[in-house]
Amino acid sequence: MPLYEYYCPSCKREVSITQTISEHERGAICPSCGSRGLEQRLGTFFSKTSRKS
């Protein structure tokens, strides 16, 4: 399964989560705090449209 990088605003840290593609499409849950508000990190990509306030 692919490894996805996320940032958890609640924990204020980055987390790496192994997910299947279908799990990834449904979104990620922080393994530390259970938050669903994770922001995906795209490695070398810089996302221009994922800013949420």
Taking the complex as a whole, the smallest distance from the CB of residue 24 to Zn ion amounts, in Å, to 17
State the pairing for strand pair 13-18/39-41.
unpaired
Type of residue numbered 8: C
Q: How far is CA 19 from CA 49, 52, 53, in A?
A: 23, 23, 26
Which is closer to Zn ion, CB of 19 or CB of 35? 35
Which is closer to Zn ion, CB of 33 or CB of 44? 33
Binders in 1-53 for Zn ion, by CB under 5 A: 8, 10-11, 30, 32-33, 35
Contacts to Zn ion by CB under 5 A: 8, 10-11, 30, 32-33, 35
